Structure 1
Amino acid sequence: MKAVQQLVEVCLTPAGEPGRLIWQSRAYPIWDVLDQWRYGGRWWLGESPRSCFLVQAGELVAELHREDAPDRWWLARIQD
C-alpha cells in the first residue's frame, strides 16, 4: 500500500458507512467495506481517536480514516 495522507470528502450511506469518496476532483463509488477497525491515535502527540475503513472504491482499494474530533476524513493509503 502506498501512503497518501490527504484530506478527502466522503459521503455516507443512510446506514452511516462510507458510500462515495471524492479525491483529486474525482468521485469513486464505494462498492464494499472490506474491513473496519478503531485506532486510538498517538495520544501522547495529541492525535484524536479515529475509525478506519478499508474499502473497494471503483478501481481503488483505499484505507480511509475518520477522525472523531474534528470530524474529518483522510485518505491514508491506496493499493499500488
Structure 2
Amino acid sequence: MKAVQQQVEVEVRNGQPARLIWNGQTYPVQAVLDWWRAGGRWWLGEAPRNCYFVQAGSLTAELHHEDAQEGRWWLARVQD
C-alpha cells in the first residue's frame, strides 16, 4: 500500500462511501471490503474516524472519515 494522505470528495449512500473523486477522476465504489473505527491521535487533536477499505473502480483504497464537525474525507492509502 502506498500512502497518499489527500483530502477527497466522497458521495455517501446508506452511511457508506458510494463514490470518490480523486485527482479529477470519479471512482464508483463497488464494494466496502472492510471497515473499522480509529481513535485518532488525540494528543495531536485528531478526531476519531471511520475507516473503509474499498474497491472503487481500478482503485483498492483506504478512506478515512473524521467525526469532527467538518467531517472531512481522506484518501489514506492506495494499493500499488
Scaled to the shorter chain, the TM-score interval is over 0.9
Unaligned runs of 5+ in 2: none
Partner SS for 2:26:
strand
Query: Is residue 73 from structure 1 mapped to residue 76 from structure 2 by the alignment?
Result: no
Q: Over aligned residue pairs, what C-alpha RMSD do you find?
A: 0.5
TM-score (norm 2): 0.96
Shift of residue 45, structure 1, vs aligned partner: 1.1
Q: Which residue of 2 aligns with 1:8?
A: 8
Q: Which runs of 4+ in 1 moved over 3 A?
A: none
When normalised by structure 1's length, the TM-score is 0.96
Structure 2: distance between partners of 1:51 and 1:38? 5
| Count of residue pairs the alignment pairs up | 79
1:16 Cα offset (Å): 1.4
1:26 match: 25
- Tell me which amino acid in the other structure corresponds to 1:72: R
Q: Percent identity?
A: 67
